[in-house]
Amino acid sequence: MSQPSEIQPARVTVNAVGEGCEVVLAGSWQITDPRPSWAKLLGAAEPKRVTVRLGEVPRWDTSLLLFLLEVEEWCRQRGFYFNSEALPEKIRVLLAQMMASHESSVPFDRTESFLATVGLATADTLAKARAISSFVGECVLSTVRLVRSPQRFRWRDCFTEMQQCGAMALPIVSLVSLLVGVTLAYTGALVLRQYGGDIYIADLIGLAMVREMGAVMTGVVLAGRTGAAFAATLGNMKANEEIDALETLGIPAVQFLVLPRILALGLMMPFLVLYSDALGIIGGLLVAYGQLSIPPAAFWAEMLTIVDLSDVASGVIRGVAFGVIIGLAGCLRGLQAERSAAGVGRAATSAVVTAILLMIVADAIFAVLFNALGI
Amino acid sequence: MNGTSHRQNPDEASALPPAPAIEVEHLECGYEGKVVLKDVSFTVRPGEIFFIIGGSGCGKSTLLRHLVGLNQPRAGLVKFLGQPFSAADPATRRQILRTFGMLFQGGALWTSLTLRQNVALPLEEYTTLSARDIEEVVALKLRQVGLVGFEDYFPSEISGGMKKRAGLARALALDPAIVFFDEPSAGLDPVTSRKLDELIREVRDTFGTTIVVVSHELASIFDLADRVVMLDSAQQGIIAEGHPRELAASSRDPRVREFLRRDDLPKPGA
């Protein structure tokens, strides 16, 4: 490639010899350049014997072998004679290899029978259930150890994680919560205005944010931000054998890596939920003032008629549960990650999906529970 | 094995000496303001097996990364087959990149692709071959490195030695004129390591491919190398250049003699 001007493209001359033909290959044969087509060169001719030899070939590579393979196949399919004896030994050896790989290359069949697929899926589900139970059990045992000897707990790691998942998440939680409040207010205003009940927008926003949306939206944001980060971090640590190193030192990964993260999320979630509630209410208040001309003082007074501390507590309790769920899902998926870059990516995705799914299930359970308790 | 083909027809000797495959002129390498190597100059002849050797931390892999363009040199020039590479425009750079392959230390296979897809990717990117032709080339390359039957395995399903061989098949996919190896023996058992050395030699012997190897494995160095350059961290550059046996026997530099001491190597027939 150094002297492009000197490079002659690959070319083929076909000379008729009796019932057969002699094929002379010349020029530079490079896999990155186009090569002559045997079928086009031949047209309608059907030589019974094809003899191939090299002319002026300054360089050649697999491109030449592909051409020879095409000629050889053409001859074989018709029962004609392919004579490669005039070719250099190296090329003949390579051509033989190529023909062998051509014949032996069978796609790997990964399909399984129906029964095997069902059986494997069942075994896989059971294994996953066992892994989840074992992981949750280890977390509980580690928590007991933490309560018994808190001085041995990695508080510094826990505080670092609290900063990461708490303070560092404030900007995104602010934006999302404010916009959720705004959206709820606009949607509510559409209905309430028709009945002249504009003022009840305060009740709608207050209850929705405090009981549900504050906790759910904070949970969703943290599942995407922190849960995925937990899974990616632990997945990378697993790929780098850092977790194996902990285990060989007799330090359980759950105690060292998982518990500080779950505890950090569980501790920060109440504050983030309260913050989210406040931002959502402010968003609703702004819309109420701008669109429905409801003064902020009236909005606040109306909201306090329906929102009480038990509503706030129900939101905070949800938030704590969501925090633990996000931490568990992120750490579990991280520890289960395959030892590869793709495995880490899959673990992060799986952590977010698992966390959101479990949060919705937990939210439904809380709704039923709080209803039964009259909260 | 019979690796890739390229080069001029070995049967036709040219009257003029061939241009160097690689020319390195006053290269200065480093990261983020820190100089690791300075004033590094050497040439690699076509068809040569050339080793870059030295102790841990002397800058072997750094030099390799600068040679193949993964890092930009702070100063100096790298030429491949007479063409300046380090300061080339993107189009020329892409053209030059086609002429060399690289085997990374861990194989660096793309984990989401099967071995077949790993080897096929450069062919799909750089050639106009039909899907069927690509299949043929991939099957040949994997056969040449002894991975017949593993075409549809994912990298996570094969051993470290197999990953390296698959990485070599990928490096050879475009029949490069030059192949770089970064610590090919690292993490391999002696038998697998020797087999990989044999593969390297056969790639060169069959087609005259230029081989550049970064290594500190003495067995490989003495077995394979036509020439070596030895780097030293204190001097931040080359302290010796030549055939390893000659350097081991007659180098005046005690660091070179110490590095190339073969007392621990198994004797033939032992």
Q: Tell me: the pLDDT tens digits for A185-232?
A: 999 998 888 888 889 999 999 999 999 999 999 999 999 999 999 999
Cβ-defined contact of A97 to B135 (cutoff 8 Å): no
Judge whether B29 lies within some domain: no
What range defines the domain where residue B180 resides?
Answer: 47-68+98-259
Judge whether B81 lies within some domain: no
Cβ-defined contact of A65 to B135 (cutoff 8 Å): no
Q: What is the pLDDT of residue A107?
A: 61
Distant-in-sequence contacts of B160-164, Cβ < 8 A, 24+ apart: B160/B106, B160/B107, B160/B187, B160/B188, B161/B188, B161/B189, B161/B192, B161/B195, B161/B196, B163/B106, B163/B107, B163/B109, B164/B103, B164/B106, B164/B107, B164/B188, B164/B196
Q: How many domains does chain B have?
A: 1
- Between the alpha carbon of residue A76 and those of residues A2, A13, A50, A67, B47, the distances in Å are 38, 21, 11, 14, 36
State the nearest Cα–Cα gap between B126 and chain A, in angstroms.
6
Q: What is the pLDDT of residue B14?
A: 43
The overall average pLDDT reported for chain A is 90
B135 versus B7: which is more confidently predicted? B135
User: Best interface-test mutation with A: which of B7, B8, B9 has the largest number of A CBs within 10 A?
Assistant: B9
On whether any CB of chain B is under 8 Å from the CB of A60, the answer is yes
- The sheet carrying B22-31 orders its strands as B34-44, B22-31, B75-80, B83-84
B264 versus B3: which is more confidently predicted? B264
Q: What is the DSSP letter of B8?
A: B
Q: Are strands B178-182 and B210-214 parallel, antiparallel or unpaired?
A: parallel
B4: which chain A residues are within 8 Å (Cβ-Cβ)?
61-62
- What letter represents residue A258's amino acid? V
CATH number for the domain spanning B232: value is 3.40.50.300
State the nearest Cα–Cα gap between A80 and chain B, in angstroms.
22
User: Best interface-test mutation with B: which of A33, A62, A340 has the largest number of B CBs within 10 A?
Assistant: A62
User: Which member of B9, B155, B175 has the closest CB to residue A62?
Assistant: B175
- What letter represents residue B40's amino acid? V
The predicted model scores a pTM of: 0.69
Query: Would you place residue B214 in the very low, low, confident or very high pLDDT band (cuts 50, 70, 90)?
Result: very high
pLDDT digits (tens, 9 = 90+) for A194-205: 888 889 999 999
Query: Would you place residue B56 in the very low, low, confident or very high pLDDT band (cuts 50, 70, 90)?
Result: confident
A250: Cα within 13 Å, side-chain hemisphere: 0
- What letter represents residue B164's amino acid? K
pLDDT digits (tens, 9 = 90+) for A309-365: 999 999 999 999 999 999 999 999 999 998 878 889 999 999 999 999 999 999 999
- What letter represents residue A92's amino acid? R
Cβ-defined contact of B152 to A343 (cutoff 8 Å): no
Delineate the domains of chain A, giving CATH numbers in brackets: 4-104 (3.30.750.24), 127-373 (no CATH)
Cβ-defined contact of B175 to A93 (cutoff 8 Å): no
Q: Do B151 and B138 form a contact (C-beta atoms < 8 A)?
A: yes
